[in-house]
Amino acid sequence: MGRLILRRIVQLIPTLFGVVTLAFFMLALSPGDPARVMLGERASQARLDELRTQLGLDRPLIEQYGLYLSRVVQFDFGTSIKSGRAVTEEIADLFPATVELALAAMVFASFTGIVLGVLAARKKNSLLDTASMAAALIGVSMPVFWLALVMIMIFSVGLNLFPTGGRMNIRYYFTPITGFYLLDGFIVLLREGDPKYLMSALHHLVLPAVALGTIPLAIIARVTRSSMLEVLGQDYIKTAKSSGIPDFKITFVYALRNALLPVVTVIGIQFGLLLSGAILTETIFAWPGIGKWLYHAIEARDYPAVQGGIIVISTVFVLINLLVDLLYSVINPRIRLQ
Amino acid sequence: MDEPLLSIQDLKVDFSTNRGLVRAIRGVSFAIRKGETLALVGESGCGKSVTAHSITRLIPTPPGRITGGKILFEGVDLLQIPEPKLRDLRGSRISMIFQEPMTSLNPVFPIGSQIMDVLLTHTKMKKVDARAKALSLLELVKIPAPERRFKSYPHQLSGGMRQRVMIALALASPNPGLMIADEPTTALDVTIQAQILALLEDLKEKIGMALLLITHDMGVVAEVADRVAVMYAGRVVEEGEVFRIFENPSHPYTRGLLESLPSNPLYKETKRLKAIPGSVPDMITLGEGCPFANRCPLVRPECTLAFPEPTTLDTDHKVWCYAIEEEPVL
């Protein structure tokens, strides 16, 4: 197992190299001049040339690439053109917010999706099955930004149940400890016995997480259903039935463990995609995470920030895939031995 | 004669398909006494497996449906009792092993824990005791190094070993009464077949349980069965003690079956094997008469109208055939 993990980590290196290369050249070759963006339309040629030299933009592209590579290896993504802060620092500040949102969305999507899928498979062609699969189809078809807006209109503006944006009641003047507000709120609750931060963080998390999780939920439910249907027809399920194992246990232990393999793959892929979905959701819900930040960086042609953002999100995607692969071997003993 | 352990009376099972209603089982009756081996014989598609699966109501419903009859196990009609009661019987008093050992064990759990699960379902054993019992079961079915095999996954075992594990799983009960073995050796190669059959025989003696053996292999029947029920197209056509059936096969179909065997116990001198002319009838369009009528050498007008009542030939030998009086006694 240890060797497997090590081998997989070594295999990550070329992938990540490709990511960095793509991120660099995609932006370097796209039209527009970062120096011009920074200094504005009316800057003098002399000032422009000075900044180009300062940023290294006057050197040959391949040299810029080499320099960029050497800095990225040291986790240095350069300085944000817009804010003047180090990109690494900005990302580190914002990342917990995105991870918290993505995790919440994924937990919601996976749990609900798997339960719905299993129930639909057990009661195949029943009202529950048809209704939940129809709902799943609608869920898959909805664009996330539209859903987010509709949810704000209904639940925030209309029913006044949830806040329209942000991560915490601004009147609390909350200073984050870890940056994961749920965790922070919990720490405060343990230390001071005051649950208001935890409740407020949770309250703010519900709508964006549900909005972001709806599409993955729908996909997970459909995959779980079809996978369960296949597994429930297998001989070993018949064996379990003929051995008198209770139905509940057959469904949720004997069958689900087998049916989970394709579901885990889908969860992994969806988790990665969700990070890009977060760009829209975070923007709509004013969620101070990487997505919203990246959105503004793209808008402002803040090249170092965009490159850094792309690399970080891609790296997370790749790491999640690694995790999924390792999870496989935990779930499926047939893979473990190969 | 004492009360049979299992008695199936006039069982009827239908399946709805796209082409129409398939009346797969059309009134099957037979009985198994305590500690006895009954072989249910017939060709593929004759309803052997459906009959076996009906006993513990494991027919997938829909499309299948048990439409009539009684299945009495120790005097209780299994078709009438509620599902939870039946579940208590499955795996404890009535257990099953299947044709495909390769796919009949759950691939993601070690075999030891699968056996323990069944034990823990049916008894109030502690985990430690269940483990010990599971180990002793693996030993009982002659799995070498059971201690080491306990944590093995099914894919690490050969087909024969897996079938042994299936048998251990079927025996994972404090008081096994009946084992239903649905073609347990069909998927195994010949040497392993013999080992598994010997093991089943041996265990039956040791534990004193009855065995319902489903097979299409007359050789297997001759080797292990006490009694035989011959099935054809959803009906039992002949039932009786194994020696009487082999010595005096009275239904034309039974005779056809035996004549098609290479080591035919009836006609030792026969050089060429005989085949039964024609083919199995379509179960959707088949009428009420004897299903064998269209292939039978002794067919009479009444054969296609209604299925005959059983004729008792001997104390333990029944045949369902109109032509029985005319047949030459061999």
Looking from the CA of A279 toward its CB, the CA atoms found within 13 Å total 14
Which residues from A are below 8 Å from B121, CB to CB? 243-246
Query: Does residue B217 contact residue B228 with C-beta atoms inside 8 Å?
Result: no
Residues A131 and A244 in one domain: yes
Give domain status of residue A204, yes or no.
Answer: yes
User: Which ipTM was obtained for this model?
Assistant: 0.82
Q: Does A244 touch chain B (CB under 8 A)?
A: yes
Task: Suggest the residue from A242, A254, A338 to mutate for an interface test with chain B (most B CBs closer than 10 A).
Answer: A242
Report residue A224's pLDDT band, with 50, 70 and 90 as the boundaries. very high
Lowest-pLDDT choice from A60-69, A188-197, B122-131: A188-197
Rounded to 10 deg, the angle between the A144-151 and A196-232 helix axes is: 130
Lowest-pLDDT choice from A55-59, A132-136, A287-291, B20-24: A55-59
Chain A, 42 to 61: residues with Cβ < 8 Å from chain B are: none
- Six token digits for residue B322: 């109109």
Report the predicted TM-score, pTM, of the whole model to 2 decimal places.
Answer: 0.79
Cβ-based burial of B167 (10 A; exposed 0-12, middle 13-18, buried ≥19):
buried
Report residue A107's pLDDT band, with 50, 70 and 90 as the boundaries. very high
Contact A244 B90 (CB under 8 A): yes
DSSP for residue A174: P
Residues in chain B, pLDDT under 70:
1-2, 263-271, 325-330
Residues A59 and A181 in one domain: no
Instruction: Look up the domain containing A29 and give its range.
Output: 2-73
SS (H, E, C) B272-316: CCCCCCCCCCCCCCCCCCCCCHHHCCCCCHHHHCCCCCCEEEECC
Give domain status of residue A101, yes or no.
Answer: yes
Q: Does B104 touch chain A (CB under 8 A)?
A: yes
Report residue A338's pLDDT band, with 50, 70 and 90 as the boundaries. very low
Give domain status of residue A27, yes or no.
Answer: yes
Distance (Å) from the alpha carbon of B11 to chain A's nearest alpha carbon = 20
pLDDT for A329 equals: 79
Query: Does residue A223 contact residue A262 with C-beta atoms inside 8 Å?
Result: yes
Nearest CA in chain A to B171: A243
Query: Does residue B71 contact residue B79 with C-beta atoms inside 8 Å?
Result: yes
Contact B91 A236 (CB under 8 A): no
Residues A240 and A321 in one domain: yes
Task: Answer whether residue A31 shows pLDDT above 80.
Answer: no
Query: Does residue B50 contact residue B22 with C-beta atoms inside 8 Å?
Result: no
Give domain status of residue A123, yes or no.
Answer: yes
pLDDT for B265 equals: 55
Residues A60 and A189 in one domain: no
Alpha carbon distance B198, B330 (integer Å)? 31
Contact B87 A244 (CB under 8 A): yes
CA-to-CA separations, B146 to A199, B107, B140, B163, B308, in angstroms, rounded: 54, 18, 10, 15, 52
SS (H, E, C) B173-230: CCCCCEEEEECCCCCCCHHHHHHHHHHHHHHHHHHCCEEEEEECCHHHHHHHCCEEEE
Give the pLDDT confidence of A225-281 residue by residue, as tens digits: 999 999 988 889 988 988 888 888 898 888 998 898 889 888 888 887 887 777 788
Alpha carbon distance B95, B139 (integer Å)? 19
Give the pLDDT confidence of B107-143 residue by residue, as tens digits: 888 999 999 989 888 888 888 888 888 888 888 888 8
Give domain status of residue A34, yes or no.
Answer: yes
Contact A331 B108 (CB under 8 A): yes
Query: Does residue B238 contact residue B230 with C-beta atoms inside 8 Å?
Result: yes
Give domain status of residue A85, yes or no.
Answer: no
Q: Does A241 touch chain B (CB under 8 A)?
A: yes
Residues A99 and A191 in one domain: yes
Contact B108 A257 (CB under 8 A): yes
Report residue A282's pLDDT band, with 50, 70 and 90 as the boundaries. confident
Chain B, 171 to 190: residues with Cβ < 8 Å from chain A are: 172
- Six token digits for residue A323: 């995790």
Residue A224's domain is classified under what CATH number? 1.10.3720.10
Comparing CA positions, the residue from A40, A64, A68, A36 lying closest to residue A49 is A36
Residues A305 and A223 in one domain: yes
Q: Does B87 touch chain A (CB under 8 A)?
A: yes
Residues A302 and A241 in one domain: yes
Residue with tokens 């699960």: B117
Alpha carbon distance A291, A284 (integer Å)? 10
For residues A203-229, average pLDDT: 88
pLDDT for A37 equals: 73
How do beta strands B64-73 and B76-77 pair? antiparallel
CA-to-CA separations, B199 to A45, B165, B167, B172, in angstroms, rounded: 94, 12, 9, 16
Query: Does residue B159 contact residue B195 with C-beta atoms inside 8 Å?
Result: no
pLDDT for A302 equals: 81
Residues A46 and A171 in one domain: no
Alpha carbon distance A163, A179 (integer Å)? 20
Sign of the CA dihedral A153, A156, A159, A161? positive
Contact A244 B118 (CB under 8 A): yes
Comparing CA positions, the residue from A205, A165, A152, A212 lying closest to residue A183 is A205
Nearest CA in chain A to B91: A243
Rounded to 10 deg, the angle between the A256-284 and A144-151 helix axes is: 70
Alpha carbon distance A6, A13 (integer Å)? 12
Q: Does B123 touch chain A (CB under 8 A)?
A: no
Give domain status of residue A81, yes or no.
Answer: no
Beta bridge partners of A148: none
Which residues from B are below 8 Å from A241, CB to CB? 58, 90
Reduced to 3 states (helix: H, G, I; strand: E, B; else coil), residue A8 is helix
pLDDT for A113 equals: 92
Residues A63 and A103 in one domain: no
More confident residue, A32 or A18: A18
Give domain status of residue A144, yes or no.
Answer: yes
pLDDT for B330 equals: 47
Query: Which of A41, A73, A105 delimits the end of a domain?
Result: A73
Distance (Å) from the alpha carbon of A327 to chain B's nearest alpha carbon = 13
Number of domains, chain A: 2
Nearest CA in chain B to A328: B108
Task: Answer whether residue A112 shows pLDDT above 80.
Answer: yes
Residues A49 and A145 in one domain: no
Alpha carbon distance A240, A249 (integer Å)? 9
Residues A150 and A60 in one domain: no
Contact A333 B117 (CB under 8 A): no
Q: Does A338 touch chain B (CB under 8 A)?
A: no
Contact B117 A244 (CB under 8 A): no
Contact B105 A239 (CB under 8 A): yes
Alpha carbon distance B183, B49 (integer Å)? 9
Report residue A114's pLDDT band, with 50, 70 and 90 as the boundaries. very high
pLDDT for B204 equals: 84
Residues A169 and A27 in one domain: no
DSSP for residue A275: H
Alpha carbon distance A178, A196 (integer Å)? 17
Q: Does B152 touch chain A (CB under 8 A)?
A: no
**DSSP characters over A105-120:** HHHHHHHHHHHHHHHH
Beta bridge partners of B14: B23, B65
- Six token digits for residue A29: 């070759």
Distance (Å) from the alpha carbon of A244 to chain B's nearest alpha carbon = 5
